[in-house]
Amino acid sequence: MTSMAGWGRRFGPLVSRMAAALFGGYALAALASVAALALPMSKPQAVLTGQMAGFAVYAGAVIWVFAVRSARRAWAGLLVVAAPLLVAAWPVW
Amino acid sequence: MIHLSSFILCLTGFAALAVAMDRQQHDLFGRSLPAPATASLRAGGAAALLGALGLLVAWQGWGLGLVMFSGHTSLGAGIVHGAIIGGLRMRAKARGG
Amino acid sequence: MKTDQDARPAGRGLRQSMSDLHSWVGLLLGWVLYAMFLTGTVSYFKDELSQWMRPELPAQIQVPDPAVVAQRIADELGTVAPGSPQWSLRLPDARNNSVYAFWRTAGAAPGQRAFGEGNFDAATGRTVTSRGTLGGDFFYRFHFQFHYMPVVWGRWIAGIAAMFMLVAIVSGVITHKKIFTDFFTFRWGRGQRSWLDAHNALSVFGLPFHAMITYTGLVTLMALYMPWGERAAIRTAAERQQLTAELSAFIQPGKPSGETAPLASVEDMVRQAQERWGRDNVGRVTATHAGDAAARVAVARGDGGRVSMSPQYLEFEGSTGRLLAVHEGVGAAAETRGVLYALHLGRFSDSVTRWLYFLVSLAGTAMVGTGLVMWIVKRRQKLPDPERPHVGFRVVERLNIAGIAGLSVAMTAFLWANRLLPVTLADRANWEIHGFFIVWALTLLHAVLRPAKKAWVEQLWLAAALLALLPVLNAVTTPRPFWHSLGAGDRVFAGMDAMCWALAGLHAALAVRTQRHQPKPRPARKPVREPVNGAVLREG
């Protein structure tokens, strides 16, 4: 048990960061691609804009996650960005 | 023909920019060049690159022109770099190093 | 080799984090990326490779008039695929010596093959037969969907790899801020330092290309990777059609009228397109319900003259040849996508630009390759006992050999298989591909069984030999040897032979250098203790 806990203390933050980067980053990108539908343009254009911008958001999120000082901050940053995107995406989802 | 002249411009441009760098000056001449010489090399190099860009854009428009420019600069920089390595190696060998 | 660990024992700065991220992200998908880069690089000559792999089709010295060819093949398709709801043909150009066409089969019952395809002779209009091969399309498809797995899985793997690449590029630039001030710096014979300099040089010179090719690669398949906006916004058939119209020159086959009416002159339609876009800049002719009064014909613009693949086409009424619509503009986002897509494929290139694409892309391949080797070089110096490296080290070391040198061997073996497998072999096209994978697996086996350095040297020499002898094999097995191609002005075959020799020289040079290489003795200082999650040496 103690060794499990030790392992968790040692690698927990790293695993958490990896999850934030892989899944959190993708979720943020997906959210941004839907939020793009709120842009003042026709639906096909908005869809394509969201798709193209999504990868930049994803890459930015991954860099952010590994650049900040702690795993908690990494998640917090993702959530802070996600909030306004969620507001924009809500009506169309 | 325009490809060739743009490529030569890129090559000379990067050669000038490389020689304008302090480390390369020490490697090649064993000392720093005087500041005015360095400045004019830098300006000349940048002008050559801009000239290549202008040539390609005037010929093929911005889209194709920029793509071609990007290719010529990459290749030109790579060749200049290779030439510097090769030159220094030959000199080192000649010195028996 | 200076480390910053002593300077900053506790805190892990941004560059340290980015350095870790870069080396682990790079390693995890490095071999996949290397294979994607190399097969993608040769795919810039996909059409030429396909020509070489179908030696039965004669060289095309002059491009025939596309308008005449379009009419000829349209007539032929009228007999090959009568009543087809849709057929489409790609006109010959400077890089294609046959006309490729595909069609939907009329009234195909469920479970029956609903599509047909074929290559046609531009001069006679007849179907041409050549050995069964996927040609250059194998490398092209492998580049983004691999093999032996469902296409969608492969594309997802390629997407994840591309995303890792994007992260590796950004984190690499942050890690090595000095790459721009260290421009043109190379320290010879300094072990890890030299590898790093080479890796940096290859990265920086091609940086615009590497960043572009990675991002645009993701864009080519973005509908698969980021479907969420589309799912939320596109709900009706009309909306779907609106979106499709922004992406491709595809005309929906409507309902046939049931009234027969012969197709008007396709040649005239193509002539109108030629006036607009140039004689050799008409790409594709698509007809729906040819032979019916409701027929429509779309004549699409070729790839030349603009960096975009957004749809541009003329739409004609099939029975009268009347121009119905000129489609020449799409929305800003769709145009952006068209530009990014075109940048990735580079089909707009003239031959000089194509070579630039090829060379810079080859530098990108070398960038990934040097990165993979560097991972090993860095860690070898820190091994407690270099004679008995730990398992992880050995796995990476062996996979590097098969992933880099072995891939060259396997790709060349694929071309050998194209010349050696009997033309009558059943399922021949697939056996060429099996050959590629069998040889690749053998190189991995060899890499595991032999000492690392010997394995590198032997595989590089093998690749060099296979490449150097490929023109000889071609001379023996086809009536198109080098001297003949040279005399006949056959640029594809002569170019291929010359290219093989050039690449053989490259592999031989690498083999010689590897052979001469003496690993530096371990530095006589105390090894630096490594932080838990595998921090690597700082480049300071």
pLDDT digits (tens, 9 = 90+) for C474-487: 999 999 999 999 99
> Quick check: A23 contacting C, CB < 8 Å?
no
pLDDT of C441 strictly over 70: yes
Q: Give pLDDT, residue A91.
A: 84
pLDDT bin (cut points 50, 70, 90) of residue C2 is very low
pLDDT at C181 over 80: no
The domain limits of chain B are 2-94
Phi, psi of C3 (to 5 degrees): -115, 155
Q: Is the pLDDT at C537 greater than 70, yes or no?
A: no
Identify the band that residue C522 occupies on the pLDDT scale cut at 50, 70 and 90.
low
Least confident piece of the model among C56-70, C372-386, C402-416: C372-386
Across C26-59, b (16+ Cβ under 10 Å) vs e yields bbebbbbbbbbbbbbbbbbbbbbbbbbbbbebeb
Domain containing A38: what range?
Answer: 14-92
pLDDT score of C323 = 95
* Residues with Cβ within 8 Å of residue C80, at least 6 apart in sequence: C103, C116, C118, C127
Residue at A5 is within a domain: no
Distance from CA of C206 to the nearest CA of B (A): 5
Q: Give the residue among C420, C380, C370 at the shortest CA–CA distance from C198.
A: C370
Question: How many residues can be counted in chain B?
Answer: 97
Residues shown for chain C: 540
Stretch C104-112: mean pLDDT, rounded?
76
Going from the C-alpha of C390 to that of each of C382, C397, C448, C450, the distances in angstroms are 11, 11, 14, 17
Inter-CA distances, C307 with B49, C283, C346, Å? 22, 15, 8
pLDDT band at C11 (very low <50, low <70, confident <90, very high): very low
Rounded to whole angstroms, the maximal C-alpha distance in chain C is 90
* Region B28-56 average pLDDT: 92
Is residue C111 scored above 80 in pLDDT?
A: no
Cα angle C481, C484, C488; round to 5 = 135
Distance separating alpha carbons of residues A58 and C14, to the nearest angstrom? 19
The DSSP call for residue C104 is E
Q: Is the pLDDT of residue C7 over 50?
A: no
For the segment C435-443, the average pLDDT, to the nearest whole number, is 97
Closest residue of C to A36, CA-based?
Answer: C229
Sheet with C323-327, side-by-side order of all strands: C115-120, C99-104, C86-90, C282-288, C296-301, C313-317, C323-327
Residue of B nearest to C182 (CA): B23
Q: Which pLDDT does position A2 carry in this prediction?
A: 62
* C505 vs C25: which has the higher pLDDT: C505
What per-residue confidence (pLDDT) applies to A1? 52
Work out the end-to-end distance of chain A between its first and last CA atoms, rounded to an integer number of angstroms: 44
pTM: 0.90
Gyration radius from chain A CA atoms: 16
Cβ-Cβ contacts under 8 Å, C185 against chain B: 23
Chain B contacts to C (CB-CB under 8 A): 3, 17-18, 21, 23-24, 61, 63-64, 67-68, 70-75, 77-78, 80-81, 84-85, 88-89, 92
C532: number of Cβ within 10 Å: 8
C228 has a chain A CB within 8 A of its CB = yes
Lowest mean pLDDT of C23-27, C154-158, C189-193, name the range.
C189-193
Minimum mean pLDDT range among C136-145, C377-386, C457-466, C528-537: C528-537
Percent of chain C at pLDDT > 90 equals: 61
pLDDT of residue C315: 94
pLDDT in tens, C399-433: 999 999 999 999 999 999 999 999 999 999 999 99
Q: Three-state SS for C320?
A: coil
Counting the structural domains of chain A, the total is 1
The first and second tokens of residue A6, run together, are 């030790």
Mean pLDDT in chain B?
A: 90
The closest CB to that of C352, out of B3, B21, B85, belongs to B3
Q: Does the structure show a pLDDT above 90 at A8?
A: no
Give domain status of residue A3, yes or no: no
pLDDT score for C267: 95
